[in-house]
Structure 1
């Protein structure tokens, strides 16, 4: 389909001002040229939405894999196939995410991003790399490999950042030795420090927030709540996320990592402007249930996928998500009883702001990338459009 000229008609367009019925959206040269009811341009291709919802494309700022691939496989094929898989579920832009690993392996993963990006013709856009680890709390490591958990090493992270220019976020535990210095360094370089896999208390979080740790990775998962020391109670990371109004959070709204009650609580306290929905998807996303691997195929963690989530083989804990972005939106509406427009905001505009790409995507506005999705009243995906090009349709 011609990506240079496109017109979508009879849509219920989800705009920053609300839902616009019987809307026409015109695309020229991969960007949105008009949003409304007027036909301002002759177009080569018309898509009749037949009353379906037209939303900005979904932006997932935490993805490890999908379709049987993981970014830690360190192949160009993995990057491209993951991008295609998630585009087929409504993702139009995403942040490839690493796991705690050896230094040289991380450098390989980052280098492959730059090789794969220009070859990514039919998948979700790459919008920067998210490094998750290895500077974490051992007690809150979750499914991160304990062999690689360590204190923040300035020589190590400066080497990584000097060799790669595509890193946009780095997740660390603020109480770990060297993590505050890391946060300062990242902030100076325009990279977002994020709090994750942490046993911190409120004072630790406030200190981290003041140096730039303004986001929390997979809120609730692998982070402390209220703790007791010598009979005294201390607010943990979860409570800190609520107390700090400027702190943004991301949640895995797969209906497994957080039950409906907690989805409702996060939404009630933080609101759609401070919440990003993320899949945190591993390689088994889009695959049948059964055995899988978290991380590299060669030496990753064996897991079992059942009940729509990855678990440790002994079923003692979750070991990754197999969610998709269209599922996240549906869950927030059906399980958390969130208005559709707010569910969409948490999957589009808010993650775009957190990722620093709101000037290019995240809303249906003139001049932004023509990244869009069509879905029906039951929030079943129909079409994914990236840069005005249809990359998936049912």
Structure 2
């Protein structure tokens, strides 16, 4: 891991911690940490003048599978570095590596790779692992391979003892024995996300009572309103939007959801509970027509999006998290501060890492993003060191 740097970033447009907290001045960094006093660093920090460009925290992506032909279910550390470096250059300074449903052997191998990387401190953007599956509702599995879905009892056996790199599990809480798994995970400090599920509002509430706190990608893999008779029965989607307690994810890649649904989600949950995620796959960076693996499933790249090879479902996205901020703002009318919060402070809180990440307040880790007025990324700072300039070239 590179030695943390010292830097002073001066701008007239700083987004420090939340949608309403903007300032004019500078961010002082000493040895990789945001400092309260710019004169307190005795290491002769470099000064970076960015004028009126927007300066915000580094992006935090809770749901990211891969990039440029590589998937986190690979156990080769080189593949993980390739994915992490690709997304770092696109502004993502904290990654929750997400493993789609695959074999128990492949999952265990990937978790072991993550543990080694975290222990070795040579993957500074890696925050841990999320399992998306294998305990998912078959009818809401999306791109997940049906043959690799498993029961909560099977997953519990696979996660005993608990892998050290595991931070979150997405599951369908209506499956038999899911309550036991939720309690086990929560008791061991692992966050539980509800997704790819047919859960009723009552089943969602039971999961919440057991300790589930998060909802995977709204509208993707969620049961919705039905009317079997004269009465309307809410699905998981309606229960998600009506919730006062859950945080939730949104994929604003321009293909998963139209403007109306993005707007509904923002109005219902607000930027303090809504997280922008990329759901980026190995298809990111590949040309249309190329195929790729995500977990045990195979996807195909199209012009701006990806589907399963049968073309009956979207297969994650092929964009970085930074690419979604401008779209979210344009399609919903959200402020710049709000979209940045949804990609920084809010997911950092979901991970339990705020205010260490997701903010530029004193004491935070010095991960920064610098943006042009149209929310195109200009520069990236990791641990106080400028790693990408406005041409996209590593420093």
Counterparts of 1:154-303 in structure 2, within 5 Å, are: 156-229=155-228, 232-295=231-294, 300-303=296-299
Deviation at 1:322, TM superposition (A): 0.9
Inter-partner Cα distance in structure 1 for 2:282 and 2:160: 26
Q: Secondary structure, in 3 states, of the residue corresponding to 1:373?
A: strand
Aligned counterpart, 2:22? 19
2:35 to 20, 27, 33: 33
Inter-partner Cα distance in structure 2 for 1:62 and 1:24: 31
Aligned counterpart, 1:108? 109
Deviation at 1:40, TM superposition (A): 5.1
Q: Secondary structure, in 3 states, of the residue corresponding to 1:273?
A: coil
Counterparts of 1:99-138 in structure 2, within 5 Å, are: 99-117=100-118, 121=122, 125-138=125-138
Inter-partner Cα distance in structure 2 for 1:180 and 1:226: 24
Deviation at 1:286, TM superposition (A): 2.9
Structure 1, residues 223-246: CA drift from partner, whole Å, max 9, x if none?
A: 101123455431111111122201
Deviation at 1:271, TM superposition (A): 0.3
Q: What's the RMSD between the two structures over aligned residues?
A: 1.9
C-alpha contact 1:83 1:124 (8 A) present in aligned 2: no
Q: Secondary structure, in 3 states, of the residue corresponding to 1:114?
A: helix
Compared with structure 1, are the counterparts of its residues 342 and 277 closer, same or farther at alpha carbon in structure 2 (3 Å cutoff)?
same
C-alpha contact 1:31 1:387 (8 A) present in aligned 2: yes
C-alpha contact 1:332 1:338 (8 A) present in aligned 2: yes
Inter-partner Cα distance in structure 2 for 1:341 and 1:350: 12
Inter-partner Cα distance in structure 2 for 1:153 and 1:326: 38
Structure 1, residues 57-84: CA drift from partner, whole Å, max 9, x if none?
A: 0000111001221011221011101100
The answer for unaligned runs of 5 or more in structure 2 is none
Deviation at 1:11, TM superposition (A): 4.5
C-alpha contact 1:85 1:286 (8 A) present in aligned 2: no
C-alpha contact 1:152 1:177 (8 A) present in aligned 2: yes
Counterparts of 1:320-331 in structure 2, within 5 Å, are: 320-331=316-327
Aligned counterpart, 2:146? 146
Deviation at 1:19, TM superposition (A): 2.0
Q: Secondary structure, in 3 states, of the residue corresponding to 2:374?
A: coil
Structure 1, residues 67-117: CA drift from partner, whole Å, max 9, x if none?
A: 221011221011101100001111000100111122121110100112233
Inter-partner Cα distance in structure 1 for 2:317 and 2:200: 26
C-alpha contact 1:202 1:234 (8 A) present in aligned 2: no
Structure 1, residues 198-251: CA drift from partner, whole Å, max 9, x if none?
A: 111111111111111221111110110112345543111111112220111001
Inter-partner Cα distance in structure 1 for 2:66 and 2:11: 35
Inter-partner Cα distance in structure 2 for 1:97 and 1:209: 22
The answer to whether residue 374 in structure 2 is matched with residue 375 in structure 1 is no
Inter-partner Cα distance in structure 2 for 1:315 and 1:4: 47
Deviation at 1:360, TM superposition (A): 1.0
Aligned counterpart, 2:99? 98
C-alpha contact 2:134 2:148 (8 A) present in aligned 1: yes
The TM-score, its normalising length taken from structure 1, stands at: 0.93
Q: Secondary structure, in 3 states, of the residue corresponding to 2:34?
A: strand
Deviation at 1:336, TM superposition (A): 1.6
Compared with structure 1, are the counterparts of its residues 314 and 144 closer, same or farther at alpha carbon in structure 2 (3 Å cutoff)?
closer
C-alpha contact 1:86 1:124 (8 A) present in aligned 2: no
Inter-partner Cα distance in structure 2 for 1:2 and 1:195: 38
The answer for unaligned runs of 5 or more in structure 1 is none
Counterparts of 1:339-354 in structure 2, within 5 Å, are: 339-354=335-350
Inter-partner Cα distance in structure 1 for 2:71 and 2:238: 32
C-alpha contact 1:67 1:82 (8 A) present in aligned 2: yes
Inter-partner Cα distance in structure 2 for 1:267 and 1:24: 30
Aligned length: 386
Q: Secondary structure, in 3 states, of the residue corresponding to 1:32?
A: strand
Larger mean Cα displacement after TM superposition, 328-337 or 229-238: 229-238
C-alpha contact 1:352 1:362 (8 A) present in aligned 2: yes
Inter-partner Cα distance in structure 2 for 1:203 and 1:380: 42
Inter-partner Cα distance in structure 2 for 1:161 and 1:250: 28
The TM-score, its normalising length taken from structure 2, stands at: 0.93
Inter-partner Cα distance in structure 1 for 2:151 and 2:168: 18
The answer to whether residue 83 in structure 2 is matched with residue 82 in structure 1 is yes
Structure 1, residues 311-369: CA drift from partner, whole Å, max 9, x if none?
A: 13343321121121111111111112111101000000000000111131111110110
